[in-house]
Structure 1
Amino acid sequence: MGEQIRALIKEQNYFSADDDLKRIQLVQELLAARFPFENLDVLLKVETPITPRFIEEKMLQHGRGGLCYELNALQHLILRELGYNVFLSSATVSSGNGWAEDRTHVLNLLYREEKLYAIDSGFGSNLPLHPIELDGPFVTSPAGSFRLCTLKTEKGTIAFQSKNEQGWETRYAFYPEKVEWKDLNRIKKEIHNSARSLFNRELLMARLLPESTLSVNEDRLQIKGGKNGNQKLHFSTYDEMLESIKVNFPESIYQAAVQYVHTKREGMENA
């Protein structure tokens, strides 16, 4: 794995940065550019256990993206390879309807100079692109402004928040506790099979662009921000959706989407 990582981070001028937090930021920018958020393995019922080997094969070798337990697992492997003592943790996502499935979001945490930082490359297109210091300054990316604060909730003592027109909104909460790789498989099973999961119903894909965010579901393509402002393109057919994916995502993800549409059409014909 070492040579693959070295080749990737060399493109980001990683070794020219002399500050650890800046170097981690460069890794986050690399992950955002190369590995989109996508749930095709859930829809295609790929039940392979989450292991370092699986992550390397799926993402580094085959160029796929994934969900938080894959994207942040890859981030974990890269940062550990680079010498950072990060550890995996789990959080509970907050939504307009309350809390989602308990502890099904994965992120990385780092203690540095007695300060705690959250490092998250797996929260859809809502990516800070910076390590966020607990109770430190907020950070800004094309996705908006984000902060990490001490806040006691029923789901944890730390909250990851984003800023909107009404103020700061809690997006997820967690306790700063380490989880093992086996816990990623618990999360994967819940995401795949739970009736409360948001990711086992329809296609959801997202990526962060240099000045905007882009997302695709089975109804539309949406771009937020950038020079042209917010844009939305509605799909009339699956072919239109696939064409949009082909233009905006890597070839390997497009091919997985083609497979998904094929299985969905077969299901409709056999219904």
Structure 2
Amino acid sequence: MRNEIDKLVKEKDYFSAEDDLRRIKMVQELLAERFPFENLDVLLKVEDPITPKFIVEKMLLKGRGGLCYELNALQHLLLKELGFDVYLATATVSTETGWATDRTHVMNLLWKEEKLYLIDSGFGSNLPLQPVELDGPPVHSPAGNFRLQTCETEKGSIVLQSENDKGWNTRYAFFPEKVGWEDLNRIKTEIHNSPKSSFNRELLIARMLPEATLSVNEERLQLKGIEGEDQRIMFTTDDEMLRCIKIRFSESIYQAAAHYVRMKKKGRENA
């Protein structure tokens, strides 16, 4: 694993940064560039347990992305290997219709000089791309402005918020409590099997670009620029979707998507 980490951090000239928070920011940027948010293992019913070995093989060696419990598990392994005393925690996501399933989002937390920082590489294309200090100043990324606030809710005492034209909107809430790898497998089981899960219904791949966010589902490609520009390309066939994925994502993600399309087609034929 160390060799793979060395290759990654050399790409970002990681050791040129003297400040720890700047180094963590570089790791987050690298993860956003290389490992998209994608739910293909859910759709392909890959039930392997989440372990360090599984994460290294799937992501570092095969070049796949994943959901929060995989992306932030990889982030956890990288930051631990680089000497940061981060720990895993879980949050409950806030949606337009209320709270999502309890504690099914994973992220990393870090205490540094008596300040708490959120470090999240697994929230789709809604990433701050840098550590967010509790009750500190807002941070900015291509996805917008974010802040971390002390706020008592039924789902936690801390909330991550993003800014929109109506003000600050809560994205998720959590208690700053450490969880183990077994919790990642609890979340994976929930995401794979629950009828409430939004990730076991159709394909979703999302990533951050330097000046925009990009997402693909089975209907369209969407690009959202930092200045509010919105570009949408609709798909009329699965082949159009696959061509889009092949152009914009890794070969391993394309192959997984093609496998999913074949499974879906076979299911329709057998129905």
Query: For this structure pair, what is the TM-score category when the shorter chain's length is used for normalisation?
Result: over 0.9
1:198 matched to which residue of 2? 198
The within-5 A match list for 1:46-61 is 46-61=46-61
Distance in 2 separating the partners of 1:255 and 1:8: 23
Structure 1 outlier segments of 4+, above 6 Å: none
Per mean C-alpha deviation after superposition, the further-off stretch among 76-85 and 229-238 is 229-238
SS at match of 2:207: strand
Q: Secondary structure at the match of 1:215?
A: strand
**Does the C-alpha gap of structure 1 residues 151 and 226 become closer, same or farther in structure 2, counting only changes over 3 Å?**
closer
* Aligned amino acid, residue 77 of structure 1: L
Structure 1 residues 191 and 97: alpha-carbon distance in aligned structure 2, compared to 1, 3 A threshold: same
TM-score by length of 1: 0.99
Q: Deviations over 1:103-137 (max 9, x none)?
A: 00000000000000000000000010010000000
- Counterpart CA distance in 1 for 2:96 and 2:114 is 34
After superposition, give the CA deviation of every residue in 1:171-223 in whole Å (9 maximum; x if it has no partner).
Answer: 00000000000110000000000010010000011000010000011110000
SS of 1:64's partner is coil
Partner of 1:76: 76
In structure 1, the residue corresponding to 2:5 is in which secondary structure?
Answer: helix
- Gap runs ≥5 in structure 2: none
Matches within 5 A, 1:100-249: 100-225=100-225, 229-249=229-249
- Relative to the length of structure 2, the TM-score reads 0.99
For the pair 1:267 / 2:243, whether they are aligned, the reply is: no
- 1:212-270, Cα deviation, whole Å (9 max, x unpaired): 00001111000001589210011101001111111111111000000000000000000
SS at match of 1:109: strand
What is the rounded CA distance, in whole Å, between the counterparts of 2:54 and 2:155 in structure 1? 30
Number of residue equivalences: 271
For structure 1, the residue ranges without an aligned partner over 5 or more in a row are none
Q: Distance in 1 between matches of 2:229 and 2:153?
A: 36
Is 1:62–2:52 an aligned residue pair? no
Give secondary structure in 2 for the equivalent of 1:56: helix
242-251 vs 107-116, which moves further: 242-251
Alignment of 1:20-35 (within 5 A): 20-35=20-35
Mapped partners of 2:154, 2:250: distance in 1: 39
* Counterpart contact for 2:43–2:203, Cα < 8 Å: yes
**How much identity, in percent, do the aligned residues show?**
70
Report the counterpart of residue 10 of structure 2 in structure 1: 10
